[in-house]
A and B are shown apart, each in its own frame.
Chain A
Amino acid sequence: MDEPEEQDKAVIEQLRTALAADATPARVTEAAKAALTWRRIDAELAELLSDSVLDVEPALARGGAVVRSVSFSAGETIIELEVHPDGERRTLLGQLSPVAQRTIVIQHTDSSASVSARSDELGRFRITLEGGGTVRLRIADDQAGPAVETAWIPI
């Protein structure tokens, strides 16, 4: 009878051989290589502050539905988002603080087309997307100062 260590080696070898069939798919590696094109060039990063989907106990909205809320910050600027799914469609309700009227562009990793909206005099905005995916918001300052881009989030 072999020593346990030798037997472990045999089992590891067997698993390794079997798992070789599950190497990273080429398209996943290609997509990762293409991700560098999303590097921020002329914008400040708004970091992910919180994402309720990672909370242990998600907040309950009226009626008991769970609403996902996500927030980002870049210096003084805070961007709060609620994600409301409706089948494939996603409606984003947002709030900029300090209150500001800005152009907000949603960028989507799967498509070059971007959707935009403008925040109102209370800093609120609403954007509807036809499908989910991985997105970020770019908030352009109409006057001086750099644009802000949020971290990417899957929605």
Chain B
Amino acid sequence: MNAAAEAEDLAIGDTLADARAKAGLLQVHAADPLADDAALRRLALWATRYTPAVALWGEESGADGLFLDITGASHLFGGEEKLLDDLAHRLARFGLPARLAIAETAGTAWALARFHPSPSVILPAGQESEALSPLPVAALRLLPETRTTLRRLGFKRIGALIDRPRAPFAARFEKELLRRLDQALGHAPEPLAPIVPPPVYHSLRYLLEPVFIQEAVVAIATRLMRDIVHALVRDGVGARSLRLALYRVDGKVKTIDIGLTRPTRSPDHVARLIDLKLDRMTETLDAGFGFEALGLAVTVAERMDARQTELSSLSEAAGDAGTTDERCAKLVDSLRQRLGPRCVRWLAPVASHLPERAETRCAEASSWPAPDEARPRPLLLFARAEPADNVTALVPEGPPRRFRWRSVMHGVARAQGPERIAGEWWRNTQAPTRDYYLVEDEAGRRFWLYREGLFGRETALPRWFVHGLFA
């Protein structure tokens, strides 16, 4: 309900006819809870500029607000009052009327935000029960049935519930009532479910003037990483995954995720990766009126040996870093950052008889078995075998004498084979057997051909395919 609606004496739960009768002219729109939810989520993301732990109000809390856990974050703004002022000011600038409250517990803060006469309240610690006493029982976030029962029994204010013997309430009501009361008073914990898991290592910087250019963003990100490095060193860990949040002046938040192959603590390395990513994002990243704040968070941290860091810090000074593995990881990181994470891969063997299934491309190097000299494999393999037609063979189960592939006839000078590879019957009973031949044509080009199906047993007319090319 906004002020205009209140002025017309409308109430939530009125029928449309009543509302029309009261207000006269009324535009009606269907409720769009999904869009509301999305908008609230956007706001929550924006609010991570104050603290990484931001939780949406759930169903039972009305689903129309946010909890911000500002424990340990308020000093960054010069105290709770200043933080609240800043928040109110910025929300007003977005055109969002807001009711704000700071209290020791989430329950009390909710109650004050909803029912306190002032739109912005700061409750000093320890005054929860005094503050809650005059408020109606609805301020405890109770189910409608519980509220109705309480009203019938004559309990209108929370004060009437505080410090009463608990046993009768416990017997009469669901556990909910006492739980909510305890949570509001801080006797029971109320876990919040933050929209993004709060990172352990986090650094945030507010800028006096918004920044637009890539160099500035990278420079600030480097400083943020330097701030985090101390904590990383203290805990003996390195960052495996980072998230840079760019807070735009108009309240939109852009996030940039950075993955690393090996844990790192090097601000320069992180800065370079961010730079590469920004290079790639130039089209999609819209700075708008600039970014007013930047936050860098380590989303995944991994153990990193102290010896390693000393080595890398020494060699970084020399401009050349660490062991081959570390430097290789750095190279892979920067390539992935610029080209995309799936663009840098290794070949990995797969236990399968079928040549096309026998290997895959994966994100890490894996060891290969020794090659089988008796089973030559081509250097280049077609992902999908290409059909060869006009194949003539002396005998139906013999090697080909001539074949046409990609509209060129090839006369076979020599053939080596066959190597018989049966279909994977545990996967597909219909898969025919293949006979592979290493075939050399008259020009000396070498092909890997196969005949699909055993002549006479599986098929009357076997088909031929070119599956690979030898050097």
Query: Is A bound to B?
Result: no
